[in-house]
Amino acid sequence: MTKQEDLQTVASSFQSFLEELHSKYNSLQDGSVANYIPELAKVNPDLFSICIATINGDVYEVGHYKELFTIQSISKVFVYGLALEDHRRDYLLTKVGVEPTGDGFNAIILDEKSKRPYNPMVNAGAIATTSLIKGSDATERLNRMLDMFQRYTAHNVFVDISVFTSERITGHRNRAMAHLMLHFGMIEQNIDEALDLYFQQCSVMVNCHDLAVMAATLANKGINPITGKQAVDSRYVKDILSVMYTCGMYNFAGEWAYKIGIPAKSGICGGIIAVIPGRMGIGVFSPRLDSRGNSVRGVKVCEELSQQFGLHLFDCSGNQLNLDS
């Protein structure tokens, strides 16, 4: 068999594996969709897709991978990258910490001593991060943010106005956090504008294919494997992946790091991105959530992929999946 034929065989058996994985967990109906933002409760709970993009730009996908949904908290990862580019690490660390917290993602709490929000993956930290995005006015800040997302997805992205409006109307906890941070000087600009930009970033529409390509971009030193263009300065990829690893999966982050061992971020939309540095990005979408806010099927799929292919960062078994050589 030539090397080319060999690779094709690996690719087609990997695609079959994904199809089997999808049908195995398709019958799992545990959990329920997020409903604290009324517009989100309208999602079809049965949607389910798994996508994997390699750093060479090959994409394996199964299920409803074209179905659009709002990115929600997964946006925090990418906006953190933009804020790092805008301000550099040392300044950002004075405004947002990098400590995991056992509190809920929407806890109205700051670090007692420093008055910083704990990390950029919880809402307070994300709102502070978003408030730092540069731009001469709200429109320029929004456009810079959308441009950033477009570098990762390789196509135009849009804000879902219904979800944005629903978030804006019901986001009282987020407003409370912003006021607390304004009081302690952690947010300086107009907080209504910062909150609007935060609600807009959560309401950016993506599909599961996009999630995998975005994750693969982080796996590929910040270079989008489809366009070959730099989406984020490679110097900051390790900062982004570190906070994903320690804080990305709500109050399951520790157990996730222990069992699954991959930098990841989930959102209450039911999406999960997971990054295997130097190899591939995983996207899973299934809106039914467990009590911590993570997609039930998404966690199962990532757990099985990690075990089957030795994807845990600290796995030394030599059992790693290789789709590229």
Which residue, 49 or 73, is less far from ligand GLU as judged by CB? 73
Nearest distance from C-beta of residue 122 to ligand GLU, angstroms: 9
Could you say which residues in the range 99-128 bind ligand GLU, by CB under 6 A?
A: 105-106, 123
Which residue, 212 or 289, is less far from ligand GLU as judged by CB? 289
Q: Which of 119, 174, 286, 294 binds ligand GLU (CB under 6 A)?
A: 174
Under rule CB under 6 A, residue 166 binds ligand GLU = no
Residue whose structure tokens are 């943010």: 145
Nearest CA to 53 out of 277, 223, 212 is that of 212
Nearest distance from C-beta of residue 72 to ligand GLU, angstroms: 3
Nearest distance from C-beta of residue 230 to ligand GLU, angstroms: 27
Residues 149 and 155: their CA atoms lie apart, in Å, by 9
Query: What tokens appear for 155 in the block?
Result: 């196509």
Nearest distance from C-beta of residue 250 to ligand GLU, angstroms: 7
Total residues contacting ligand GLU by CB under 6 A comes to: 10
Q: How far is CA 144 from the centre of its chain?
A: 18
Q: Which of 145, 159, 268, 296 binds ligand GLU (CB under 6 A)?
A: 268
Q: How far is CA 53 from the centre of its chain?
A: 15
What are the residues facing 159 on neighbouring strands?
204
Residues 287 and 47: their CA atoms lie apart, in Å, by 7
Nearest distance from C-beta of residue 62 to ligand GLU, angstroms: 24
Q: Which of 73, 119, 224, 295 binds ligand GLU (CB under 6 A)?
A: 73
Under rule CB under 6 A, residue 267 binds ligand GLU = yes
Under rule CB under 6 A, residue 43 binds ligand GLU = no
Which residue, 87 or 175, is less far from ligand GLU as judged by CB? 175
Nearest CA to 181 out of 171, 194, 169 is that of 194
What are the residues facing 205 on neighbouring strands?
70
Nearest distance from C-beta of residue 114 to ligand GLU, angstroms: 23
Nearest distance from C-beta of residue 105 to ligand GLU, angstroms: 5
Which residue, 105 or 236, is less far from ligand GLU as judged by CB? 105
Helix or strand (DSSP H, E) at 198: helix 191-202
Which residue, 267 or 281, is less far from ligand GLU as judged by CB? 267
Residues 123 and 179: their CA atoms lie apart, in Å, by 13
Which residue, 178 or 223, is less far from ligand GLU as judged by CB? 178
Which residue, 167 or 210, is less far from ligand GLU as judged by CB? 167
Which residue, 179 or 235, is less far from ligand GLU as judged by CB? 179
Nearest CA to 57 out of 205, 229, 207 is that of 229
Residue-by-residue DSSP string for 81-129: HHHHHHH-HHHHHHHS-----SS-TT-----TTT---S-TTSHHHHHHH
Under rule CB under 6 A, residue 202 binds ligand GLU = yes
Q: Across 251-296, where does the E strand assignment appear?
A: 264-266, 271-276, 280-285
Q: Are 301 and 50 in contact, with CB atoms under 8 Å apart?
A: yes
Residues 74 and 126: their CA atoms lie apart, in Å, by 11
Nearest distance from C-beta of residue 6 to ligand GLU, angstroms: 41
Site of interaction with ligand GLU (CB under 6 A): 72-73, 105-106, 123, 167, 174, 202, 267-268
